[in-house]
Chain A
Amino acid sequence: MLYREALNKALDETMALDDNVVVLGEDVGLYGGSYRVTEGLVAKYGETRLIDTPIAELSIVGNAVGMAIGGLRPVAEIMTANFALLAFDQIINHMAKLHYMSAGKITLPMVVRFPQGVSKQLAAQHSESYEQMLAAVPGLIVLAASDVNYAYHALKYAILRDDPVIFIEHELLYNKKGEIDFAAKLDPLKARVVKAGKDVTIVSYLKMVDDVMKAVPLIEEKLKVSCEVIDLCSLNPVDYETLAASLEKTGRLVMVEEDHRTGGYGAQIVSWAAEQMFYALDAPPLRIAGEDIPIPYNRQLELASIPTPESIAGEIITWGEKHGI
């Protein structure tokens, strides 16, 4: 099964379960979704539940907020993270705050989904990552789906939960293959140990998890270490418990993220480790992040602006040798 099919399945099952679940966004209905996530759903559920909207992101999220107030369970699709910026007023001032400001009188069971990150030469207005901004907003749950199984379980969870959820996908993951473990009792707010190890903890999320996994054999061979790879899955709230247990074991932290380094999401994880895990650490943490530049169009420049399996391996090996790991 493909990642986009897992998302489709999650939508399909929740729509079958509850008539209040509606999907809105640009091209989600008759067209089937820009990344084919909503393919086939309009035939099953009709145009009143697969709502094709104008290209007006402020309204896509703003209307979803009102639908949730009115008793529906909307799932809003934004075509890409950069376009979500037009909806930031609605996401931050309305979606994230109405429950709190009304002392719980208003509940907003809603999801805003979008892909983000570098795909291939889409240039700076279609390649950015904004989890660092959204994870910094109290009142939002922010999930990042790195694989098929998590995409399916977490999207169902997000839709059925009575709170506003930002559900982040990646442009390059839609055709990723995998299996759904239907028997699994997966808690989408828990981090996932992708690979167990004992010497270095590498924390990541979204597509960077795959890039880290590609880099790991080289790192383990060169440094003669075993790496533990953790997928955060939930960017807010953060499962610090799983991170702490891993760091107690390995004593070494590497944070890998695709967003820009300055103010990037991983800064929070490293800051937490410095404050809370200082005595468990045997080496200074390493942060591998995107450069502080708009993503360039040219393929070579583009790849040089974000972490790749090669750069991740290279940076970790250099860091490891420097600190005698």
Chain B
Amino acid sequence: MIDKLLAEDLYYHMVLGRQFEYAAKEHYMQGEISGFLHLDIGQEALSVAAMKAFEKGDVFSTYREHIMAMARGVSPKAVMAELFGRQTGVSEGKGGSMHLFDPSHFFYGGDAIVGGHIPNAVGCAYARKYQGNQSGVMVVFGDGATNGGAFFESLNIAAAQKLPLLFLCENNRYAIGTKITRVAPFEKQANKAEPYMPTMEVDGMDAIAVYEAVQKAQHYLEEGHGPLFLEAFTCRYEGHSVADANSYRSPQEMALCKQQDPIEKLKMHMLNVLGISSAQLETLEKRAQAEVDAAVNFAAQSPQPPLEARFDHLFAEGGNDAV
């Protein structure tokens, strides 16, 4: 069950995530953030609750990962500074928005090749099984990635090897601007995984449902049954990236989408079921906003990486003592 403390944690990170994304968009428009910026507004329930529920395991994710990284424990300052390309960024300005990595929080990106990170998650799950660690690995990907070869190869290997791997499909029904049913024969992408492993589905706009589903999935991995596929249906409010005007979705569709707002939904649950006061919620909201403001200030005041730093981190060196 979700207690007050956990609900507050989820709410805080969802609000933080949304405010962070709005701030990122604003600073993108002002030219301080460049490149591709994929906003996660509308999908905060999945990004936060899945990370919180899968606390013990390893996570591989996509290029729409700011909120996930923060929910995982990466500081908003280090994420915003990375978006600004600064030396203090989590990837020291070498990765940008799409490439946030923090192995100290078992968070491995931040991958911008659609589906390309799924085989990496399979390999990591193999390593965990080999090491006798059954907490498992979670790989997050969109509906678009389920049409590629990397996804199908991964289903096959994970199932054949009985690896502790949770395939978490964030189905927002659009692969950039193409509706998934125009390029795939199913509404539910879990149909593709069904021959290989058990599948589950969840309302990805409901933080509590996502939390419970992912927690249940992790228990399943821990018991050593092999991989599992969880499909979460979501709706992103923005275009694919800030550069995408979102012209392929009608105002009616967007209105329906926003009726299921995940932050409002959790808020109602906290007020009406958990008995948390609106004043307490407001305190959390203010704390989140202050954190975002501090992150922006930190990023704006952080130094650019020195030019010589471009040659750093090409190789790790070392490791040759035994030769």
Contact: B91 with A105, CB < 8 Å?
Answer: yes
For the complex, give the distance between the alpha carbons of A160 and B316 in Å: 12
| Known A70-B124, A103-B91: A141·B315 in contact at CB below 8 Å | yes
For the complex, give the distance between the alpha carbons of A54 and B196 in Å: 15
| Known A54-B156, A63-B123, A64-B123: A104·B319 in contact at CB below 8 Å | no
| Known A54-B156, A62-B150, A98-B109: A67·B91 in contact at CB below 8 Å | no
Chain B residues closer than 8 Å to A59, beta-carbon distance: 119, 122, 150, 153-154, 157
Interface contact tally, CB-CB below 8 A:
156
For the complex, give the distance between the alpha carbons of A126 and B13 in Å: 53
Chain B residues closer than 8 Å to A102, beta-carbon distance: 91, 94-95, 99, 101, 109-110, 313
Chain A residues closer than 8 Å to B131, beta-carbon distance: 70-71
For the complex, give the distance between the alpha carbons of A68 and B94 in Å: 21
Contact: B318 with A74, CB < 8 Å?
Answer: no
Interface string of B124-142 (1 = CB under 8 A from A): 1111101100000000000
| Known A63-B119, A67-B124: A106·B103 in contact at CB below 8 Å | yes
For the complex, give the distance between the alpha carbons of A281 and B153 in Å: 53
Q: Residue A66 contacts which of B125, B153, B160 (CB distance < 8 angstroms)?
A: B125
| CB of B21, distance to nearest CB on chain A (Å) | 22
| CB of A229, distance to nearest CB on chain B (Å) | 26
User: For the complex, is A94 an interface residue (Cβ under 8 Å from B)?
Assistant: yes
Contact: B323 with A94, CB < 8 Å?
Answer: no
For the complex, give the distance between the alpha carbons of A99 and B317 in Å: 11
Chain A residues closer than 8 Å to B92, beta-carbon distance: 103
Contact: A66 with B123, CB < 8 Å?
Answer: yes
User: For the complex, is A166 an interface residue (Cβ under 8 Å from B)?
Assistant: no
Interface centre among A17, A65, A74, A101 (most CB of B within 10 A): A101
Chain A residues closer than 8 Å to B94, beta-carbon distance: 100-103
Interface string of A40-67 (1 = CB under 8 A from B): 0000000010010110101101111111
Residue of A nearest to B91 (CB): A103
Interface string of B288-323 (1 = CB under 8 A from A): 000000000000000000000000111111111111
Q: Residue B95 contacts which of A22, A56, A101 (CB distance < 8 angstroms)?
A: A101
Contact: B130 with A72, CB < 8 Å?
Answer: yes
User: For the complex, is B31 an interface residue (Cβ under 8 Å from A)?
Assistant: no
Chain A residues closer than 8 Å to B323, beta-carbon distance: 153, 156-157, 160
Contact: B322 with A160, CB < 8 Å?
Answer: yes
| CB of B289, distance to nearest CB on chain A (Å) | 29
| CB of B139, distance to nearest CB on chain A (Å) | 9
| Known A54-B160, A59-B122, A163-B317: A66·B116 in contact at CB below 8 Å | no
Contact: B157 with A139, CB < 8 Å?
Answer: no
User: For the complex, is A69 an interface residue (Cβ under 8 Å from B)?
Assistant: yes
Contact: B116 with A89, CB < 8 Å?
Answer: yes
User: For the complex, is A138 an interface residue (Cβ under 8 Å from B)?
Assistant: yes
For the complex, give the distance between the alpha carbons of A161 and B320 in Å: 5
Interface centre among B102, B109, B156, B315 (most CB of A within 10 A): B315
For the complex, give the distance between the alpha carbons of A22 and B103 in Å: 22
Interface centre among B122, B127, B131, B156 (most CB of A within 10 A): B127
Chain B residues closer than 8 Å to A141, beta-carbon distance: 315
User: For the complex, is A80 an interface residue (Cβ under 8 Å from B)?
Assistant: no
Chain B residues closer than 8 Å to A70, beta-carbon distance: 58, 123-128, 131
Residue of A nearest to B117 (CB): A94
Residue of B nearest to A19 (CB): B130
Chain A residues closer than 8 Å to B118, beta-carbon distance: 62
User: For the complex, is B121 an interface residue (Cβ under 8 Å from A)?
Assistant: yes
| CB of A289, distance to nearest CB on chain B (Å) | 28
Contact: A100 with B313, CB < 8 Å?
Answer: yes
Interface centre among A105, A109, A139, A157 (most CB of B within 10 A): A105
Interface string of A133-144 (1 = CB under 8 A from B): 000001101000
User: For the complex, is A162 an interface residue (Cβ under 8 Å from B)?
Assistant: yes
| CB of B314, distance to nearest CB on chain A (Å) | 6
- Interface of B with A (CB < 8 Å)? 58, 60, 90-95, 99, 101-103, 108-111, 113, 116-128, 130-131, 149-150, 153-154, 156-157, 160, 312-323
A-B contact pairs, 5 of them (CB 8 A): A94-B116, A102-B101, A103-B91, A109-B319, A161-B318
A59-B154, A70-B124 are known; give 7 further A-B pairs, CB within 8 A.
A58-B150, A62-B123, A65-B119, A66-B120, A66-B126, A71-B131, A102-B95
